[in-house]
Structure 1
């Protein structure tokens, strides 16, 4: 006997990826429904070898459904997630709405799977920010060994993090570079993204950091350890899919780079590709479509007593969003919603 699963926002980048991953991982679902806004009613989406027609989210009754994977913005989530939860359906939400709610667990299964059981307070589980998800997968096994004191991270985030509009803008602007009569001014981003990098993701806060940077700080503390100090600079780059991060870690105890490499090779969800030669590392284009978080360029930082540097790359539509949500659903099924 399997689960009844609703994918909310099924026509978006993340929603479509959720359907793909549910099928790829053979999630034990007896029934899957694709939900979207009324303007997308009847749009066809793929689920394995099946084609689903989207149904109207506004009139949908979640009674009798086990799990709802939400891939819509915070405003719509605020309206529909409580309705689903009140109907007895566990919501796994990809928006930022519930991430900092003390009554809602924020979960990356490779890091804090046990936190899933906190779903009972509101019948909701939060999915972290895409840039946080891949970082904490890399940090947690090292933290268990040597205790992390401080993290300095610079991100190189693909345009798919801004949705379809972001991907379209990069594509259109790139083409317009070679056709000067077809000017494509910035709309989704604050400046031209083609052949450029923009040190600005989400809105600015009073202290000068952006909300994207603040999210990485707050979420790492909630998922891994509140004692870890984190400072981030988040940058949008002209890459379609795949987020990269340059991470500098200061530990309480010394951790040799060779031991760190061995620890990471055994860590769940991690693939170490780290050869000190041309091409002996992973770039965003190589991680697209993969489940793993790839780690390269592991090396000692000689400027501090207990420091390491590393390069971390992952498909943000997968581990950063859809895959993590499905993994949460898998843990939920194993630990709480067991079917006879």
Structure 2
């Protein structure tokens, strides 16, 4: 049977990026189908040099597809992912709906690729939060080498993490300020242009936000339940790219030089760390890239076995769409998904 892939939420930022990455990485789908809500009927989205017409999720037969990449928000995922999975279609969901479900694997392929086989219980695999995804890619090699006991992380997250309307708000506020218009917040709690907002998602009873809670519990599920993590998550006026200042307390000694060499050799990581002007990566440079970039690696002498670094990644890619496609590639590599060979390819063997 031909390998057919559906992308739910195809008109959104992440859905469009999923389509881009499927094409860029030459994912061997025989057919890719764009799915959206009823209000998007008639719209088209780009897939390489093709234009795909959007199908209505409510009327689409998911029993005809093998894999569904879903990026349509938590409420849509809660309603539709189980329905789709019951039709023998594996769902890779980008929302928070199933991340902490013990029967659903939460996967970052560079970190816990074996977990993908847990899809069999519910036919759903969860993508982590965007800020968690890039963090655990950086933590994995260090944790394997010497062990990580505690993580203190401050995030500087772009507005694209809150969707297209949030990007529009930053754009409109920035333009408006130059002509003395009042910057009225709609998507955010305060003005985002030329500002930093220490508030992402709702507050919990202990004073942390849900975004900060997600980073702690998701890191434990993906990497190690014994790791202690405290986060402060802030929204900053950049369009794409999340940055993180990371401070680690390690179980044993690891010099900055050894950490640099270790990270250079690790999958999914690009180290750019020169102790000079421009010798580091910022969100602007990471846009459109696949890697998680690490800079400013240094020893933290204020704690025993301390290490600090700067971590930057394209949140629409590694934080969402790329990670989902990498999970799909892992399913391919393990023989769960099997693309149909063309007659010509068979004849050549």
Confirm or deny: 8 A CA contact 1:10 1:19 kept in the other structure.
yes
Q: Deviations over 1:30-86 (max 9, x none)?
A: 011000001011211111111101010111110031100000111111111111100
Give the drift of 1:335. 1.1
Q: Deviations over 1:192-215 (max 9, x none)?
A: 000000000000000000000000
- For 1:134, the equivalent position in structure 2 comes to 134
- For 2:247, the equivalent position in structure 1 comes to 248
- For 2:21, the equivalent position in structure 1 comes to 21
List aligned pairs for 1:1-340, cutoff 5 A. 3-180=3-180, 182-339=181-338
Q: Secondary structure at the match of 1:244?
A: strand
Give me the whole-angstrom Cα distance separating, in 1, the residues matched to 2:333 and 2:91: 16
Q: Deviations over 1:253-297 (max 9, x none)?
A: 001111100010010000000000000000000000000000000
Give me the whole-angstrom Cα distance separating, in 1, the residues matched to 2:201 and 2:331: 31
Confirm or deny: 8 A CA contact 1:64 1:88 kept in the other structure.
no
Instruction: State the number of aligned residues.
Output: 339
> Cα RMSD between the aligned structures?
0.9
Confirm or deny: 8 A CA contact 1:158 1:237 kept in the other structure.
yes
Confirm or deny: 8 A CA contact 1:117 1:336 kept in the other structure.
no
Give me the whole-angstrom Cα distance separating, in 2, the residues matched to 1:217 and 1:17: 26
Q: Secondary structure at the match of 1:168?
A: helix
Give the drift of 1:338. 4.1
Q: Deviations over 1:73-108 (max 9, x none)?
A: 111111111111000000000000000000000000
Q: Secondary structure at the match of 2:7?
A: strand
The farther-off stretch of 217-226 and 60-69 is 60-69
Give me the whole-angstrom Cα distance separating, in 2, the residues matched to 1:165 and 1:294: 27
Give me the whole-angstrom Cα distance separating, in 1, the residues matched to 2:239 and 2:334: 36
Q: Which runs of 5+ in 2 are unaligned?
A: 341-349
TM-score, structure 2 as length reference: 0.96
> CA, structure 1 residues 253+151, in 2 after alignment: closer, same or farther (shift >3 Å)?
same
Q: Deviations over 1:160-209 (max 9, x none)?
A: 000001100000000110112x4341000000000000000000000000
Confirm or deny: 8 A CA contact 2:3 2:337 kept in the other structure.
no
Give the drift of 1:2. 5.1
Question: 4+ residue stretches of structure 1 with deviation over 2 A?
Answer: none
Give me the whole-angstrom Cα distance separating, in 2, the residues matched to 1:17 and 1:24: 10
The farther-off stretch of 95-104 and 37-46 is 37-46
Give me the whole-angstrom Cα distance separating, in 2, the residues matched to 1:191 and 1:112: 38
Give the drift of 1:252. 0.5
Give me the whole-angstrom Cα distance separating, in 1, the residues matched to 2:262 and 2:222: 20
Confirm or deny: 8 A CA contact 2:10 2:45 kept in the other structure.
yes
Give me the whole-angstrom Cα distance separating, in 2, the residues matched to 1:74 and 1:335: 28
Give me the whole-angstrom Cα distance separating, in 2, the residues matched to 1:45 and 1:338: 25
Q: Secondary structure at the match of 2:63?
A: coil
Give me the whole-angstrom Cα distance separating, in 1, the residues matched to 2:246 and 2:334: 33
Q: Which runs of 5+ in 1 are unaligned?
A: none
Give me the whole-angstrom Cα distance separating, in 2, the residues matched to 1:336 and 1:63: 19
Give me the whole-angstrom Cα distance separating, in 2, the residues matched to 1:19 and 1:258: 39
Q: Secondary structure at the match of 1:320?
A: helix
